[in-house]
Amino acid sequence: MPEEDWPLLATILPNRIISRPIHVNPHAQRYLTPKNGQFATVIYVDDHGEELLDDAEAAASRIELRLAWGLFDPPGNGLGLNRDLDPVWQGLSRIQHAEVLVISQHPEMHAKDGVVSISTQEVDRLRRAFNRVTTNGRKLIRQTKHGIVHDDVLTRLDPERFRRIVRVNPPLVEVRREGAKQTAARERTERRSSVQAVRKQLSELVTEAPQELMQLHAEIERVTLANMIGAFKAKLAGKLTESHWQTFFEQNKFVLSMAFARPVELTHTQFHAKGSTLTGAGAQIGDFLFKECGQALAIVEIKTPETALLQGAAYRGQDVFGPNSELSGAVTQVLFQQSELRQRWMTHVNDNLALRLSGADVVKCVVVAGRLPTDSSKLRSFEVFRNACKDVDIVTFDELLAKLEFLEMQLTPKPEPDLF
Three-state SS for 285?
strand
Higher model confidence: residue 160 or residue 53? 160
Does residue 15 form part of some domain?
A: yes
pLDDT computed for residue 55 by the predictor: 78
Query: Residue 288: beta bridge partners?
Result: 269, 300
Reported confidence tier of residue 278, pLDDT bands at 50, 70, 90:
very low
Does residue 207 form part of some domain?
A: no
pLDDT computed for residue 1 by the predictor: 65
Q: Are strands 16-19 and 41-45 parallel, antiparallel or unpaired?
A: antiparallel
Does residue 167 form part of some domain?
A: no
Q: Are strands 363-368 and 297-302 parallel, antiparallel or unpaired?
A: parallel
In angstroms, the CA 17 to CA 177 distance is 36
Using alpha carbons, select from 163, 29, 16 the residue that is nearest to residue 102: 16
Three-state SS for 241?
coil
Using alpha carbons, select from 255, 221, 280, 293 the residue that is nearest to residue 403: 255
**Is residue 112 domain-shared with residue 253, that is, in the same domain?**
no
Mean pLDDT of the chain: 85
Instruction: Report whether 302 contacts 287 (CB < 8 A).
Output: yes
Reported confidence tier of residue 34, pLDDT bands at 50, 70, 90:
very high
pLDDT single digits (tens) 68-125: 889 999 988 999 999 999 999 999 999 989 999 999 988 888 999 999 999 999 999 9
Q: Which helix (H) or strand (E) holds 117?
A: strand 115-119
Q: What is the pTM (predicted TM-score) of this model?
A: 0.52
Does residue 138 form part of some domain?
A: no
Chosen domain end from 126, 150, 170: 126
Reported confidence tier of residue 132, pLDDT bands at 50, 70, 90:
very high
pLDDT computed for residue 165 by the predictor: 67
Q: How many CA atoms lie within 13 A of 278 on its CB side?
A: 0
pLDDT computed for residue 419 by the predictor: 53
Q: Which of 298-312, 337-351, 377-391 has the lowest mean pLDDT?
A: 337-351
In angstroms, the CA 118 to CA 125 distance is 12
**Is residue 250 domain-shared with residue 375, that is, in the same domain?**
yes
Does residue 103 form part of some domain?
A: yes
Query: Residue 72: beta bridge partners?
Result: 81
Domain count, the chain: 2
Chosen domain end from 106, 126, 146: 126
In angstroms, the CA 403 to CA 142 distance is 62
Name the DSSP class of 151. Answer: I
Instruction: Report whether 397 contacts 204 (CB < 8 A).
Output: no
Does residue 322 form part of some domain?
A: yes
Structural domain boundaries, residue 312: 241-408
Q: What residues contact 62, with CB distance under 8 A and at least 6 apart?
A: 12, 50, 53
Chosen domain end from 126, 145, 168: 126
- Give the mean model confidence (pLDDT) for residues 282-303: 82
Instruction: Report whether 382 contacts 396 (CB < 8 A).
Output: no
pLDDT computed for residue 279 by the predictor: 39
Q: Which helix (H) or strand (E) holds 339?
A: helix 325-343
What's the alpha-carbon Rg for the chain, to the nearest Å?
A: 38
pLDDT computed for residue 285 by the predictor: 77
Does residue 117 form part of some domain?
A: yes
Query: Residue 272: beta bridge partners?
Result: 285
Using alpha carbons, select from 141, 222, 202, 208 the residue that is nearest to residue 409: 222
pLDDT computed for residue 281 by the predictor: 46
Does residue 204 form part of some domain?
A: no
Q: Which helix (H) or strand (E) holds 269?
A: strand 264-274
Strands of 264-274's sheet in order across:
264-274, 284-292, 297-302, 363-368, 392-395
Q: Which helix (H) or strand (E) holds 325?
A: helix 325-343
In angstroms, the CA 71 to CA 43 distance is 13
CATH value at residue 324: 3.40.1350.10
Number of C-beta neighbours around residue 73 at 10 A? 19
Whether residue 267 has pLDDT greater than 90: no
**Is residue 116 domain-shared with residue 250, that is, in the same domain?**
no
Long-range pairs of 230-237 with CB within 8 A, sequence gap ≥ 24: 232/400, 232/401, 232/404, 233/401, 236/305, 236/397, 236/398, 236/401
In angstroms, the CA 13 to CA 36 distance is 21
Angle at 48 between CA 47 and CA 49, to 5 degrees: 95
